[in-house]
Amino acid sequence: MLGEPAKHISERALTVWKIRGIITSGLSLLIYVTISVVIFIFHWPKWIIIPLVLLWIVETYFIIFFNPKLRWKIWRYEVREQEIEIQHGLWIVTKTLVPMIRVQHVDTTQGPLLKKYHLASVKISTAATVHEIPALEDVEAEELRHVISNLARVADEDV
């Protein structure tokens, strides 16, 4: 039986995800504050603020600490000669199999945050779907892109 794919993604991904979590948490804090202000202006019952605060704390814990860690633990990939296997997810864990001969093209992308941490993500497109391996070391991502596109080409010739 096929086990789990062998490789983890870069540990620095964790840092990037945490920073993203902090940004999201900051944005939602802004929304909650706005709601609280509205509550004060219209003299609605003030106790509503308490669940809002609790909600924000729980949310922040999940998006900054719990989710990135679990996601990183689950995220695995493996590039074999004839296929790529990817496992990802949080509550729903998905395992995907993409044969090399089905790969149409490979892209690497790098946003400002990823760039700062020398990371990049690799996007693998088939004729029907797109699969992303996020946050690889950028050297590794580049290498992977070459490997996949070479293997895909070779496999193509076999057909």
Partner 1 sequence: MFEKKRMHPISVILFILKNIKDAVLPIIFMFILGGSGEDASTLDLLFRFGIPSVIIFFTIISGIINWFRFTYWIEDEELRIEHGLFVRKKRYIPFERIQSISVTEGLLQQIFGLAKITVETAGGALDESEAQLIAIKKEEAENIQSYIKKSKKKQSIPTEASGEQMATIAIDTSISDEEPVDIIYQASMKNIFLLAITSGGAIGVITAVIAFFSQFDELIPYEKIYTEAQLFIASSISLFIILSLFIIVFAYLIAIVQTMLKYYDYKVEKTEKNLIISHGLLEKRKITVPFHRIQGIEIIENPLRRLFGYVTFQVINEGGTDMEEPGKVIICPLIKKQEITAIVKSCLPDYQVDVELGTLPDRAKIRYMLRPAYVISIPVIIGGYFLRPFGWLLLVLIPLSMLFGYQSYRGAGWNMSGHQLTLRSRWIQTRTFYTFKNRIQSLEISKNWFQRRKSLGTIYSHVMSGSGRVADLDESVAKAIYQWYSRTDAE
Binding site for partner 1 (CB under 8 A): 1-2, 80-83, 89, 91-100, 102, 126-129, 131
User: Of 46 and 95, which CB lies nearer to partner 1 in the complex structure?
Assistant: 95
Shortest distance in whole angstroms from residue 130 CB to partner 1: 10
**Hey, what amino acid is at 97?**
L
Shortest distance in whole angstroms from residue 116 CB to partner 1: 32
Shortest distance in whole angstroms from residue 19 CB to partner 1: 27
User: Of 41 and 127, which CB lies nearer to partner 1 in the complex structure?
Assistant: 127
CA dihedral 61, 63, 65, 69 (to 10 degrees): 150
Shortest distance in whole angstroms from residue 12 CB to partner 1: 27
Of 156, 107, 159, residue with least CA distance to 136: 107
Of 72, 96, 70, residue with least CA distance to 11: 72
What is the C-alpha to C-alpha distance for residues 71 and 73, in angstroms, rounded to an integer? 5
CA distances from 46 to 53, 144, 154 (A): 12, 55, 67
User: Of 24 and 126, which CB lies nearer to partner 1 in the complex structure?
Assistant: 126
User: Of 27 and 92, which CB lies nearer to partner 1 in the complex structure?
Assistant: 92
